Structure 1
C-alpha cells in the first residue's frame, strides 16, 4: 500500500477541522455559563464532594440555574449522594443530556457513562483531559448561572485540565481544621497561583460537632485552622461547616440533608456559605454607557448642618473595586456640600453581612463602590445606607466631591477579585 504524509491526503485537514469545531463548541458553551466554581482540596477525606454538592444545592434553592460536574473520574461520588442513577440520554444533536436533580440543578458524572457503576476507570492524563473538555462541549447544559465542578483531591491531571479548559474558573478550596489538612491545602493554594487560577476562598469543613442529645459543641479537630490559613495566605474564609451525622446519612441514602429545619447549625452554616459565594460572584453585566449619578436627598440634608458620613473602600489610597476585600475604608464627613474631614479605618475580618452592620454603627449613610453583590446591596438598604456602584478608581476626596456636585459618572457594577 502506498503511504502519504499527514495532511497530504486530507486526513490531517479533517482532524484539524474536527478539533476546531470542538473548540468552537467549547467556547460557545462556556459563554453561556456565568460563574464556574472548581471545588478542590489538597487531600482526600475532607468532605470536598459534600461541600460541592451543598454549594450546588444551596445555589439551586435560591433560584439559580446550576450545573454540577463531577470530574473525579476514578472515584465519582456525587451521583450516589444525590440518588441519581441511569445512563445519559441524547438530544437531537447527539449531545449528552445532564441528569436533572430538580428544576434548577443538573448533574454530569462519568458514572452515567458506565453500565456497571462499580467499574474501575483506568485512564492516563491525556484521556482525562479530553473527557473533561467533552463534559462541557458535548453536554447540553444550556444557560447556567453557576457550574460547580467537583474535582478529585490533589493537584494532578484533573484540576490542571480544568485550569487549562476553563481559564475564568474560580477555586473553592476545602480543608478541615487539623494541621495535616492545612499543610496540604496550602499546596492547593500555591497550585492555583502558579496556574493563575483565581481563588474564591476557603471552606473549613467538619468544624466541630453539635451533640444531638445535649446540644454541646464538641471539637473533633483543632479549631480556627481554616481562618488562620486564610489570613496567612490573604484569602477569604467563605465559611465553616460543622459536622452533622445527618449529612453522612443523607449522602449514603441519596437524600441530601438540605430539607430539614432551617435553624439547624449545619443548614445555617450552608446558608452563610452561599451568602459568601453570592457576594464574591457578582452578577455578570455587559458594559454600559457611563451614567451620571445625581445628588440625593441626604446630600441636601447635610447642607443644613446635619452630619453626613460617606464610606469608600480603598486599596493603596484609591477606590478598591470590591468593598468587602479592601485594605481600608476612607470615612469622609460632609459639611455645606463639601468634604470636611477624612479618617482611614481598617475593617474587621470579612464575614457575610458583617460590613453593612459595622458601617451602620459608624454612622455611614452612603457607600461608594466599584462593585458589590446584590445581596450586600440589600443588606445595606436594610441598614438605611445608600449604595453607589460602578464608581471609577480615583482618590476618595475627589470621588466624593463629584458625587456631591452631581457629576459622578458610573459604569457597570464591577469587581476585581
Structure 2
C-alpha cells in the first residue's frame, strides 16, 4: 500500500513510503478500485459515463460479479474507495453480509494508485491537518437492520471506528470533527493497551506522575467510546460543521444502534473516554456537606433521584453493561515513553477520580432483592422506586461495588429500615425524601 501526499499541482504524488497490506495474500483478494464515499461508489461504465451506486446496489453488483467469476471461499474483498471505512461502516458491512466475505476497508482516502506501473498496489492519500485513517476488516453479521427507523440526524453524525494499533480490529467508536483526530487523539488506537494515567492541573498546566489504570474488566473486553460530553449528555459533531447536544436518552438510542457494541457478549464493558460522563445530569455546584474529605463530589438537588443519573450510569442501566466514567474532563496525552490517559483536576488542583458504574437492578431484580431483604406483602412500583433509592444511597456511601457484595441483601434491608424510620418520624417525614448523609451518620454511629 503506497503512501501519497498532495503535490504542488494539487494532484496526488508519491512519498516513497509504503506499508505491507494487512489482508491475507493467499488466496488473492477481490479488489474494488473506484471513487466514492462512506455511502456510495461511483462505477465507471464502458462508454465513459459513471453510475452512482448506493450501498445496496453496490453489494448486489459485486455479489453478481463474484457469482460469474467465483473465487476461493476465504478470498477477501479489498475496497480502495475513499472514506468507505468512515462513519458507520454501512457500505462494507452490507457488502460483507451480501457476499459472506471479509471486506477490508480504509477509514481515510484509499484509492487506485495513480502510478501506471504500480499494478499490484493501492494507495492511501495523506492530507496535512487531517487523520490518515487505517485499514480494518469488516466481517459478515453486522449489517444495519433494513427496517431501522433511526432519526434523520443519526446519519449526519461524524463518527469513526476506533481500530487497535495492536490487533488491527475495531475496539470502539469515536465522534469528532476529522481535524480533531490529528495529534493526541491519534492515540485512540492505543486505548486497548494504555495501563497508566496522569492528572492534569489546568491552572498550572502541570502533570502528575503516572498512576496505574485499573480496568473494571479484561482490557480485551472493553468497548471504547470517545468524544465530547457534558453532564448528562453528549455533544455530537455533524456533517454540516455544527454539533448536536443530546441528552442521555438520545445518546442511548444512538449507541444502541451501534452493532459493533450490541453484537458483543454481555460480559464486555464500556470505557467512556468522554468528559463529565460521571457527573450528575442535573446541577453542577458543589455540595458543601460533602467537603469534609479530600475530594469534592458533584452536587445535585436529589442525588438519589432519576434526574441525577449521570450519562455513564444511564448507559450502564440501558445497555446492561458495566461502564467506566469520569466526573471531570479526560482524554489521552503523549507522556514520557508513550500515550496515557489523562484526568483533569478541579480548579483548586484537587484530583478527580475514575469510577465504575454497574447496571442498577431492573424491576425483576428489585422484586427478588425485596424478597431477599425481607420485605413482605409483594412489591409495587412505589416500593421498587424506594428500593432503588436505597441501592443508590448504598452505592454513594459504601462504594459502587457494593452490589457485588455477598451481604448486599442484608445491607439493603438495613438501609431500608433507616428509610422507614425516617418516614415514620413525624418531624423528619415532612422535610423531604431520604438523604444519603443520614445513612452515613447511621453507619458512623454503628461501626
Per the TM superposition, whether the score is higher than 0.5 is no
Bigger radius of gyration, 1 or 2?
2
TM-score by length of 2: 0.29
Q: Would you tell me which structure has more helix in proportion to its own residues?
A: 1
